[in-house]
Amino acid sequence: MQMIRAIVRPEKVDSVVDSLDAKGFSAFTRIDVFGRGKQKGIRIGPTVYDELAKVMLMIAANDEDIDEIVGIVEESAKTGSFGDGKIFVNSIDEACTIRTGERGL
Protein backbone atom coordinates (compact mmCIF):
# COMPACT_ATOMS: atom_id res chain seq x y z
CA MET A 1 0.00 0.00 0.00
CA GLN A 2 1.31 3.44 -0.94
CA MET A 3 0.38 7.08 -0.33
CA ILE A 4 0.61 9.39 -3.32
CA ARG A 5 0.83 13.10 -2.57
CA ALA A 6 0.37 15.13 -5.73
CA ILE A 7 0.89 18.89 -5.50
CA VAL A 8 -0.68 20.55 -8.54
CA ARG A 9 -1.80 23.91 -9.86
CA PRO A 10 -5.27 24.90 -8.57
CA GLU A 11 -6.55 25.35 -12.12
CA LYS A 12 -5.55 21.76 -12.99
CA VAL A 13 -7.05 19.96 -9.99
CA ASP A 14 -10.46 19.37 -11.60
CA SER A 15 -8.78 17.84 -14.65
CA VAL A 16 -6.70 15.56 -12.41
CA VAL A 17 -9.70 14.47 -10.32
CA ASP A 18 -11.86 13.85 -13.41
CA SER A 19 -9.10 11.82 -15.08
CA LEU A 20 -8.55 9.71 -11.95
CA ASP A 21 -12.29 9.17 -11.53
CA ALA A 22 -12.65 8.08 -15.17
CA LYS A 23 -10.09 5.33 -14.54
CA GLY A 24 -11.77 4.14 -11.33
CA PHE A 25 -9.61 5.98 -8.78
CA SER A 26 -12.23 8.10 -7.07
CA ALA A 27 -11.00 8.22 -3.45
CA PHE A 28 -8.72 11.08 -2.44
CA THR A 29 -8.20 13.86 0.08
CA ARG A 30 -7.86 17.43 -1.20
CA ILE A 31 -5.94 20.08 0.75
CA ASP A 32 -5.32 23.67 -0.34
CA VAL A 33 -1.66 24.46 0.33
CA PHE A 34 0.90 27.22 -0.27
CA GLY A 35 4.56 26.82 -1.08
CA ARG A 36 7.36 27.22 -3.56
CA GLY A 37 9.78 25.05 -5.46
CA LYS A 38 13.38 25.39 -6.57
CA GLN A 39 12.56 28.63 -8.40
CA LYS A 40 11.72 30.28 -5.05
CA GLY A 41 8.43 31.67 -6.32
CA ILE A 42 7.90 34.01 -9.24
CA ARG A 43 8.85 37.60 -9.98
CA ILE A 44 6.50 39.93 -11.81
CA GLY A 45 8.22 43.27 -12.22
CA PRO A 46 9.53 44.36 -8.84
CA THR A 47 7.13 42.07 -6.95
CA VAL A 48 8.17 38.58 -5.81
CA TYR A 49 5.51 36.00 -4.98
CA ASP A 50 7.41 33.47 -2.90
CA GLU A 51 4.44 31.40 -1.71
CA LEU A 52 2.12 30.20 -4.43
CA ALA A 53 -1.30 28.58 -4.06
CA LYS A 54 -1.33 24.86 -4.90
CA VAL A 55 -3.59 21.90 -4.19
CA MET A 56 -2.36 18.65 -2.66
CA LEU A 57 -4.23 15.46 -3.48
CA MET A 58 -3.55 12.52 -1.20
CA ILE A 59 -4.39 9.13 -2.70
CA ALA A 60 -3.97 5.82 -0.88
CA ALA A 61 -3.45 3.05 -3.43
CA ASN A 62 -2.45 -0.55 -3.85
CA ASP A 63 1.15 -1.10 -4.98
CA GLU A 64 0.09 -2.39 -8.41
CA ASP A 65 -1.87 0.84 -9.16
CA ILE A 66 0.93 3.32 -8.41
CA ASP A 67 2.42 3.64 -11.90
CA GLU A 68 -1.01 4.11 -13.48
CA ILE A 69 -2.12 6.74 -10.96
CA VAL A 70 1.16 8.66 -11.20
CA GLY A 71 0.87 8.61 -15.00
CA ILE A 72 -2.70 9.91 -14.90
CA VAL A 73 -1.70 12.76 -12.56
CA GLU A 74 1.35 13.67 -14.67
CA GLU A 75 -0.65 13.72 -17.89
CA SER A 76 -3.64 15.66 -16.56
CA ALA A 77 -1.68 18.21 -14.45
CA LYS A 78 1.10 19.09 -16.90
CA THR A 79 1.21 22.50 -18.59
CA GLY A 80 4.91 22.36 -19.48
CA SER A 81 5.71 25.45 -17.42
CA PHE A 82 7.55 25.95 -14.14
CA GLY A 83 5.27 25.31 -11.19
CA ASP A 84 3.38 22.31 -12.56
CA GLY A 85 3.94 20.55 -9.24
CA LYS A 86 5.46 17.44 -7.73
CA ILE A 87 4.38 13.88 -6.93
CA PHE A 88 5.62 12.02 -3.86
CA VAL A 89 5.07 8.31 -3.21
CA ASN A 90 5.55 6.80 0.26
CA SER A 91 4.79 3.46 1.83
CA ILE A 92 1.81 3.08 4.15
CA ASP A 93 2.47 0.64 6.96
CA GLU A 94 -1.17 0.28 7.91
CA ALA A 95 -4.60 1.80 7.29
CA CYS A 96 -7.64 1.45 9.54
CA THR A 97 -11.24 2.42 8.73
CA ILE A 98 -12.64 4.26 11.74
CA ARG A 99 -16.28 3.20 11.28
CA THR A 100 -15.65 -0.53 10.90
CA GLY A 101 -12.18 -1.06 12.35
CA GLU A 102 -11.23 -2.81 9.09
CA ARG A 103 -7.51 -2.83 8.34
CA GLY A 104 -6.05 -2.27 4.85
CA LEU A 105 -7.50 -0.31 1.94
What CATH number has the domain bearing residue 12? 3.30.70.120
Domain assignment present for residue 13? The answer is yes
pTM of the model: 0.87
User: Would you give per-residue pLDDT tens digits along the chain (105 residues)?
Assistant: 999 999 999 999 999 999 999 999 999 999 999 987 777 767 778 877 778 899 999 999 999 999 999 999 999 999 998 889 999 999 999 999 999 999 976
* Count: domains in the chain: 1
Please tell me the predicted confidence (pLDDT) of residue 17.
98
Domain assignment present for residue 66? The answer is yes
Distances (CA, A) of 67 to 2, 18, 70: 11, 18, 5
Structural domain of residue 36, as residue ranges? 2-91
Domain assignment present for residue 96? The answer is no
Please tell me the predicted confidence (pLDDT) of residue 19.
98
Domain assignment present for residue 29? The answer is yes
Please tell me the predicted confidence (pLDDT) of residue 54.
95
Domain assignment present for residue 105? The answer is no
- CA–CA separation, 22 vs 27, rounded Å? 12
